[in-house]
Structure 1
Amino acid sequence: MAQPGTGEGPAVAELAPWPRRPARLAHAVIEALTDRIVAGHFPPGSALPVEAELCETFGVSRTTVREAVKALETKGLVHARQGSGTTVTVQEEWNLLDPVVLAATFQHDDELVVLDQLVGVRSALESQMAAQAAAVGSDKDLRAAQAMLSRLDRETSTPLRFIESDVSFHAAVMHASGNRLGQSIVRIVHAQARTTELYNGTPDEASCRTANAEHRRIVERLLARDSEGAAQAMSAHIEEAWRRRRSPQPRR
């Protein structure tokens, strides 16, 4: 993610007008401003352009701009104060579970810092849910996770299809845990991460076969009702799969 510039004051970039007028105006303004804030073009402590300038830049009404700024505030990106303008907040205040903020964050995560953090969160939550699934999951739910293995075996030669079924496999294990909050958190962050090539890598048949061998160890531990073993197998799979996809050098 881009860092604020150095110097006597924050360097603020100018916004470029749209070549075409988007259909969903407020949402388009929100996405554009979120992207510029996350990219560091409007560093923490800097002020957004005044309302009239935003109206002119995006070709929208004051009502649309006010709606967009209000949305940015609910996302934790800005503080809007009457008479003192709209100020960008520090990164710690940003709501990274908001889909728009999260998508922009991943888009500008050139050194994979946030994606590394995502994998850590997934490893912690999904290993816990694998342990819960082994302990309390119904036989029917565990058989559903087991059934995914055959489907994944058939799809190792079609990596794009495999990675879609891989998501379904993990969803089946999480469902078996009964942990609805954990499922929601993982679903939000993983869905956004999968929209970026930085996270997806370039899957091939060999990596798919390796991943499914790891899936099989998870299922074996689940069926054995081995909570600790299921947790360890899930954590190892998530972290190793990321290590295989991750570039050995930071992206520039």
Structure 2
Amino acid sequence: MDESGVAIVPLPGPGHARVARALGTGIVAGHFPEGAVLPGEPTLLARFGVSRTVLREAVKTLSGKGLLEARTRVGTRVRERAAWNLFDRDVLAWTLDAGIDRRFLHDLAEIRLAIEPAAAALAAERRTDGDIDILDACVAAMRAAPGLDPAFASADLAFHLALADASGNVFMHSVGAVTEAALDVVFRMSRPTDPQAHETSWRAHAAIAAAIRAGDPAAAATATEVVVRDGLRNGAAAVETTGSAPYPCAGPIRSEAGSVRKRP
């Protein structure tokens, strides 16, 4: 325990990265609430067994990610959640480690609704034969895998990443790459649990692919919005059942469908 009564568990890794991860995970998990002041430097130096230079570098790293703010005569304060850079890969990974709740699912769904239907509309205008082949392969993999099979979630993830690629917009691709870890976890949470839900899910994705193949931007966008909203409902139901539990991210899941994802 530190002087504030919070347990700080050192994590493996080199120098300031290890300290940044331990503190960052504690912050996003709420062990250090928004507005709280971190324990004093002597306490943290003793806890982590590092030099003052290493500790300050870790604090600088977290400040750059929007988690901390150093103030003269006040100390190092945890910033409000709105200031955190959730598009930072480290912050996103720490958030997933801390556990997904309804707020996280809702926020992720909102950004997906702002981006993915637009990506699908662009894909309907710009798709290549190769794009269609990849989307069809993902749908086929979803259809072949029972809902609770990890291969289903893998194919689901691959479909949405391929959709971003098919848009032909590098920013769409970049957002997909950044949120990949979160989508990985959410898709594993929201896998269909019965045959009817399984069929509904793969057919909904097939509708997106069909609209893109037909070159119909409006239909592609509408079909994509349906899928995202269904995913939010299923994910929220999973949270209600399991609670806000940690979902450690060990890297994106892969399948044969996912292995053919293009890179710009």
Does the pair score TM above 0.5?
yes
2: distance between equivalents of 1:201 and 1:152? 13
Which of 103, 121, 139 does residue 113 from structure 1 map onto? 103
**Residues 192 and 149 of structure 1, relative CA distance in 2, 3 Å threshold:** closer
- Count of aligned pairs between the two proteins: 239
Q: Is the 8 A contact 1:156 1:209 kept in 2?
A: no
1: distance between equivalents of 2:120 and 2:191? 27
1: distance between equivalents of 2:52 and 2:84? 25
Which of 111, 125, 135 does residue 125 from structure 2 map onto? 135
Deviations 1:213-232 (A, max 9, x none): 11111111111111000000
Q: Is the 8 A contact 1:135 1:227 kept in 2?
A: yes
Query: Gaps (5+ residues) in structure 1?
Result: 1-11
Aligned partner of 2:62 in structure 1 is 72
Give the superposition deviation at 1:107: 4.6
Give the superposition deviation at 1:130: 0.4
Give the share of equivalent positions with the same residue, in percent.
Answer: 33
**Aligned pairs (5 A) from 1:37-76:** 37-76=27-66
Give the superposition deviation at 1:15: 3.8
Deviations 1:142-188 (A, max 9, x none): 23322332233222366211111111112222211112212221332
Q: What TM-score do the two structures reach when normalised by structure 2?
A: 0.79
**Aligned pairs (5 A) from 1:1-252:** 13-16=4-7, 18=9, 22-81=12-71, 84-108=74-98, 111-156=101-146, 159-195=149-185, 200-201=189-190, 203-204=192-193, 206=195, 207-247=197-237, 249=240, 251=243
Deviations 1:100-134 (A, max 9, x none): 22233345466411211101211221111000000
Query: Gaps (5+ residues) in structure 2?
Result: 245-264
Backbone CA RMSD of aligned residues: 2.7
**Residues 191 and 175 of structure 1, relative CA distance in 2, 3 Å threshold:** same
Q: What TM-score do the two structures reach when normalised by structure 1?
A: 0.82
